[in-house]
Amino acid sequence: MKYKKLVVLCLGVFLAMNLQAQSPNQEQPLRKDIIVHDPVMIKQDDTYYLFSTGNGIAMWSSKDLESWKFVKPVFDAPPQWAVEAIPGFKGHIWAPDISYHDGKYYLYYSVSAFGKNTSAIGLATNTTLDASDPNYKWTDHGKIIQSYPGKTNWNAIDPNLITDKKGTPYLSFGSFWNGLPIVKLTKDRMHLAEEPENLQIIASRKKDLSAPNPPSVDNNPVDAGGNAIEAPFIFQKGKYYYLFASIDYCCKGVNSSYKMIVGRSKKLVGPYVDKEGNALQTGGGTILLAGDSKWHGVGHNAVETFDGKDYIIFHGYDAQDEGKPKLRIEELRWTKDGWPKVMTKE
């Protein structure tokens, strides 16, 4: 999860991310094998843009999905609302989500305190992603939703925007605690359209949502508990909505156990079920991809369609490079009975 319990490892990872992304005003070299965490992607004209966890929100661009150029982070300074809302927040922003609607790019993002659900989701918009365009300017719209220790049994991080067939926007989100909630937004996508007190949980590893949260394991944050599920991403394909999520533990380098699960529903708000018919709301979920000898833990995925092909975008912990989180992009195909399959490269 985003609460990095192995502080030394995580500081090293993010130092490496910052080192490879320094000097944004200079012409940046193209890079492959880039270090990213929680990646999402979108295409504008002939260029792919990637956003990920980092100081000010890390941003990259590419013409071919292989060679990447660092772009100046979204925020030069920590958003003031986040500094006031989250004690100790200094600008390291987690798990962005990018989408396009009615002439604007919508970038939701997460701010949080270490080991707590003292967390919030914010929103910034831009009319273009091309930093050389004179109209390029991120406008921050502040907080969309916030979670509070002892008050909300969910964690306001890891947002993902999805619209139903009528165009109504929803935001799914969450990490640990009771599971992954979903909330309806206003038509402008900038405010909640329903009260957050009794949000529907669409995925959890708990068999009974009314039961207490399971205890944390190993040295993970006690307050978060042991309901190791996070990072929802909903993708519409044919007559189904597919809910992707990550389970078990990220952020432990070569010891990471992160893996991705999937379920589907004909309704955006669920219920989502896996291949065996088990509800994701109460512990179900078909394993889509897990770590192996090359990648120790894979997860926090997005799914996008580019030029008629579906792709799954995620990070994996490179077993041959000290467990650093690296960008992975794989084609996603679909079985005859309508389930996704990751076409991993040999």
C-alpha dihedral (288, 294, 296, 302), degrees to nearest 10: -40
Question: Measured between alpha carbons, how far is 69 from 61 in angstroms, rounded to an integer?
Answer: 5
Question: Measured between alpha carbons, how far is 255 from 278 in angstroms, rounded to an integer?
Answer: 29
Question: Measured between alpha carbons, how far is 324 from 340 in angstroms, rounded to an integer?
Answer: 27
User: What is the full DSSP assignment across 284-330?
Assistant: --EEEEE--SSEEEEEEEEEEEETTEEEEEEEEEETTTTTEEEEEEE
DSSP state of 50: E
Determine contact, residues 180/174, Cβ cutoff 8 Å. Answer: yes
Question: How far apart, in Å, are the Cα atoms of 40 and each of 65, 94, 297?
Answer: 12, 11, 18
Tokens of 100: 């396009």
Question: Measured between alpha carbons, how far is 293 from 283 in angstroms, rounded to an integer?
Answer: 27
Closest CA to 136 of 146, 148, 127, 145: 127
Catalytic residue chosen out of the listed positions 97, 230, 248, 274:
230
330 DSSP β-pair partners = 312
Active site residue 27: no
Active site residue 330: no
* Residues with active-site annotation: 38, 230
